[in-house]
Amino acid sequence: MRNTTTEQAILGVLLSPGDHFRDIIPQLNVNLFTDEFCIKVFRVIEALFKEGKTPNLINLITKGKAMDLISQLDIHKITVWTTAITYNEPVNEYVDELKDEHIKRQIALVIAQESMGLLENKSGSDIAMSIGKKMTELLDTNTSSDNLITLAELTSDERELYYKRSELYKSGKTSGMETGVGSINKYTGGWQNEFIIIAARPSMGKTALALFHGVKSGQPGIYFNLEMNKSQLTQRLILQHTDNIVGSHLRDGTLTQDEMVEFERTIGKIENVPFMIYDKARCGVHQAVRVMKQQHRKGKCNWAIIDYLQLMTLEGNKGSNRENEIAEISRILRSAQKELNIPIIALAQLNRDCEKRPDKKPLLSDLRESGSLEQDADTVAFIYRPAYYGLQKDDGTPYTNEIFYLFEKHRHGATGSVEFRHNYNLSQFFAINDYPAPLPLPTASTDFSNFTDASWMRDDQLI
């Protein structure tokens, strides 16, 4: 019964609006289905796919009648499948389940067939060899060889990619996604096509930095907003595009006349930023990957940022502990990054252990809820703001607006730190030499009259 329900769920997804069927159908074949009616429906869907047609209910009934497999009376049953589908369906798990059940059925069939040899006085070694051969064939037929690449193809591709990187370097551009800060670009070559973890304690500026990188990339991408409400996110974007609006005025609805003019001008600029926001509080990882793939095919997803990873869910998860769930989410994102070959940047929370150290610097062991993040990621960078903790430099002077990326894992580069600066409200970021002067630390007598806003010190409002 469970297998039939899974088959119906997959077919319901294939018939639902969207073009996700393009990713799913190539993974299936009719032998994976056991229910007779599901087999008929899949045969029609497969025929439509081969003809380049979308498998929707209208095309299904037309083609099904022509193939003498589906009647008008069957549509109600199929409609029930599609209406029961949610956007969170763990389709990849369903496909894996069908494949696994198919293998089990075949194993049982092989053993049943070969056991007949016992009655025919075949030798035990012959029966064992025959079973072994058929088991190998079974595994072979369920393993794709499409991903085999010759070394000649591999080196040819790399030669072409190298010359592209060389031309970008000569023209002053990065080989990866533009970060918006020259010192980071120099260290990393931009965000490369990798699975990247950017982690920090609360109030370090994860969201601000992630939005900044997205804006400065100048490329279409998807920002998965799992935490902030849309208004807060939009306010962040506005402040990143201007220094002439006071953050508290924007938040409270008390903009001056000059600020209103700047507000409208800035809104106009933001409307032309090429990336999109996917706004959902509890976004499932399979759902996110489907959105990435769908938009990537349309040329609208050159990167993806997830804010933040520990808020993501695993569809179909049934009671496993959170650490195992995060590990599976990480694995799925890593696999998606490799398939799409784009930067996937996942923000992550750190546990409190780093705040117990004198220098407050995070370590890889501080990654919250899962050590698998360290294993799966190509790059792990921590955001570090010493001024938040009131720390001093080696010469005894206090830190002010310095901010660091601490690269604790860098698969294709060196580990180490990159220093840059932030503005007064932590909405814009600069290379050290690009920003005029450090900001003073506040004291009881600090005069903030020279600042348009003192909220840069209100770390409780930062994410």
pLDDT at site 383 = 92
Whole-angstrom Cα distance, residue 132 to residue 36? 30
Whole-angstrom Cα distance, residue 452 to residue 244? 8
Whole-angstrom Cα distance, residue 455 to residue 161? 45
In 53-172, the DSSP E strands lie at none
pLDDT at site 381 = 93
pLDDT at site 368 = 65
Q: How far is CA 373 from CA 35, 211, 308, 380, in A?
A: 40, 22, 13, 9
Whole-angstrom Cα distance, residue 66 to residue 388? 70
Asked if the 173-461 domain carries CATH number 3.40.50.300, the reply is yes
pLDDT at site 458 = 34
| DSSP letter for each residue of 346-395 | EEEEB-GGGGGSTT----GGGBSS-THHHHH-SEEEEEE-GGGGT-B-TT
pLDDT at site 13 = 85
Question: Residue 19: which of 59, 64, 60, 55 has the closest Cα?
Answer: 55
Query: What sign results for the dihedral spanned by CA atoms 455, 387, 370, 194?
Result: positive
Q: Which residue, chain included where needed, has tokens 């380049």?
A: 52
pLDDT at site 447 = 40
Quick check: 209 and 198 in contact, CB under 8 A? yes
Residue 212 CB: number of other CB atoms within 10 A?
Answer: 22
- Strand ranges across the sheet with 429-431: 276-279, 222-225, 304-307, 344-349, 195-200, 379-384, 402-410, 416-422, 429-431
Whole-angstrom Cα distance, residue 454 to residue 448? 7
pLDDT at site 459 = 35
Average pLDDT across each block of 10 residues of the chain; the chain has 463 residues. List them in order.
76 81 82 88 89 87 88 82 70 81 81 68 72 68 54 74 76 82 88 92 87 90 86 83 81 86 85 84 83 87 90 74 84 89 92 85 78 83 90 87 90 87 83 59 40 36 35
- Domain 2-89: assigned CATH number: 1.10.860
